[in-house]
Every structure is written in C-alpha cells, then in structure tokens.
Amino acid sequence: MALPRLVKIDNQFARDTSTMAIINTDSSYYDTIVANRQQSSTIKEVQLQIESLKNDFNEIKHMLLQIIGNKNV
C-alpha cells in the first residue's frame, strides 16, 4: 500500500488523494482535544470520589445516630 499523498487545501486541512478524505493537519488542535478529554476524565474521577465520600459520611452519620439512640434507651 502506497503512502497517502496529501494535497493542501488551506492552513488546517489537506486531502488524501488516494481516499479523497479530508484530513485535519493542525496538530495544536489535536493536542487541545486530547487535553480537554484528559481534563474531562479527571473531572469525572473527582466527581466519583466526592460522591463516594458523601456516601461514607452518610454511613458514619447513620452509625453515630444508632449509637446515640442506643444510649438514650
């Protein structure tokens, strides 16, 4: 299979002459997309950790209320 031959359309795009596909040649745009995906993934992880902490605190609160309730009886 031959290497694709690219014909530049403008500063950001080129056309592959073998498949006629339009290819984005702007590597800084690609880097920005990758960084945004990583940031989004990190945000989701932090949200899951916060949700887990909320659940843990609710469990602790429930246990403390049970202990306090048992002492009052």
Residue pLDDT, tens place only, 15-56: 998 898 998 888 898 899 999 999 999 999 999 999 999 999
**Strand boundaries in 29-71, DSSP class E:** none
In sequence order, which residues have a C-beta less than 8 Å from that of residue 1 and are 6 or more positions away? none
> pLDDT-based confidence at 60, cuts 50/70/90?
very high
- The pTM assigned to this predicted structure is 0.55
Angle CA 25–35–48, to nearest 5: 145
What does DSSP assign to residue 19?
T
- Alpha-carbon gap, residue 21 to 18, rounded angstroms: 8
Quote the Cα angle for 30-27-8, to 5°: 120
